[in-house]
Amino acid sequence: MKWVEIEIITTEEASDAICEMLSQLGADGIAVCDPLEIKRIIDDPDSLAYADDGFVDSLGSDVTIHAYFAEFDDGIRLGAKEEEYENPEGVGTIYGNIATGSKSLEETIALLEERLSAIGEFLPVGNGKVSYKYVKDEDWENEWKKDYHAFDVSEHVMIAPSWEKESVADAIAAGKKVVFLDPGSAFGTGTHETTSMCAEFIDEHMTTDDTVLDVGCGSGILSIICSKLGAKSVEACDIDRLAVDVAIENCKENNVEVDCYTGELKDAKKEGYSLIIANIVAEIIAGIAPLVPDKLLPGGRFITSGIIDHKKEIALTACQAAGLKLIEEKQKGDWHAYYFEKEA
């Protein structure tokens, strides 16, 4: 067996979608280097991060994604690791059908280029260059970890990889809520603007009396944040079984109680929630918007993001047409997040 490192040069806007696509194709590790995110951390007046003059500019603006695949004698094995995860309605079908079986390296590269082209129909993929190299068996596992460090995702919440538990001990002692989340799981690790804006809304508006539903939970990051901040109860659902299992493991890792299950908004277990969160994409948000008020208690709130600039009217119009009142909007780069309320 050999390890292949696939490198994709892309944009911030498309990086999350590409990471999810790579995960569905069976990547054993995924790492993202985002110069703009590094710059935001360094420029944050509350951050202790430091870089020499010219360092960030030297990184350019392209996002670099590295994915690691195992290559066997019969080729690179693609698809979910277990048959039960080959969900035909899962996230892997958004930008193309889930691939299974073994393919040669050349066929794999061609498939990746095809999937990138499909993603490019919805999001700007930028350079979109795909390249590869082989890495030593003993090196690959640590190679994809080198770009990940603890960072603040909101005022009171920090995201940290599991290998930095000792380094964030002081932050925990100071009252910071730390979510431990490893990037290799994909489905959202907190570095994207849409996740951070949702986290900020949660930090600012959620209370310990809230009953929360996280729709399209992905890695479970937003559900874990809600639980860490003391929500009364938290449910998390996703149409992708693999994402749900990742969320369950992440909840265990963080010692929080979140009810994770496979399903959509219509499958929610309670009659009503005081807070619903959906960090998905504009078209899906528009599709579920008419159902949101029925699932909210009187005076309930709806936090949503995953909305790129040129599609914001799709989501905003649908939510307002459903009777949700816009209270606050956030924008980071080309992405938008909204905080709505249902009339009491």
- Identify whether residues 317 and 207 lie together within a single domain: yes
H or E element at residue 36: helix 35-43
| Residue 337 and residue 202 share a domain | yes
**Does residue 74 lie in a domain region?**
yes
Task: Indicate the pTM of the whole model.
Answer: 0.67
User: Looking at 143, 160, 183, which one is the last position of a domain?
Assistant: 143
Is the domain of 205 the same as that of 330? Answer: yes
Which sign, positive or negative, has the C-alpha torsion 263, 260, 149, 282?
positive
**Element counts in the chain: helices (H) and strands (E):** 12, 16
**Looking at the structure, do residues 309 and 204 belong to the same domain, yes or no?**
yes
Query: Angle formed by the axes of helices 241-253 and 221-228, to 10°?
Result: 30
pLDDT digits (tens, 9 = 90+) for 168-196: 888 889 899 999 987 654 445 666 788 89
Task: Give the whole-angstrom CA distance, residue 315 versus residue 196.
Answer: 19
Q: What is the mean pLDDT of residues 60-89?
A: 73
Q: What is the predicted pLDDT for the residue at 309? A: 87
188 within a domain of the structure (yes/no): no
In a domain, 153, yes or no: no
26-36 residue pLDDT tens: 887 788 888 77
Q: Do 64 and 127 touch, CB atoms closer than 8 A?
A: no
Q: Which of 143, 172, 207 is the last residue of a domain?
A: 143
Residue type, 292: V
Q: How confident is the model at residue 101 (pLDDT cuts 50, 70, 90)?
A: confident
Q: Is the pLDDT of residue 319 over 60?
A: yes
Q: Domain total for the chain?
A: 2
Residues 127 and 230 in one domain: no
pLDDT of residue 140: 52
Q: CA dihedral defined by 37, 38, 40, 42, rounded to 10 degrees?
A: 170
What is the average pLDDT score of the chain? Answer: 84
Which of 143, 158, 176 marks a domain boundary?
143
pLDDT in tens, 112-164: 999 999 999 888 999 889 999 987 765 555 665 666 788 888 999 999 988 88
In a domain, 228, yes or no: yes
Q: Is residue 158 part of a domain?
A: no
Q: Does one domain contain both 208 and 334?
A: yes
* pLDDT confidence band for 299 (50 / 70 / 90): very high
What's the CATH code of the domain at 268?
3.40.50.150
> Do 336 and 200 fall within a single domain?
yes
The pLDDT, as a whole number, for residue 1 is: 65
In a domain, 245, yes or no: yes
With a pLDDT cut of 70, the percent of the chain lying above it is 81
Asked if residue 311 belongs to a domain, the reply is yes
> Domain span at residue 24?
2-143
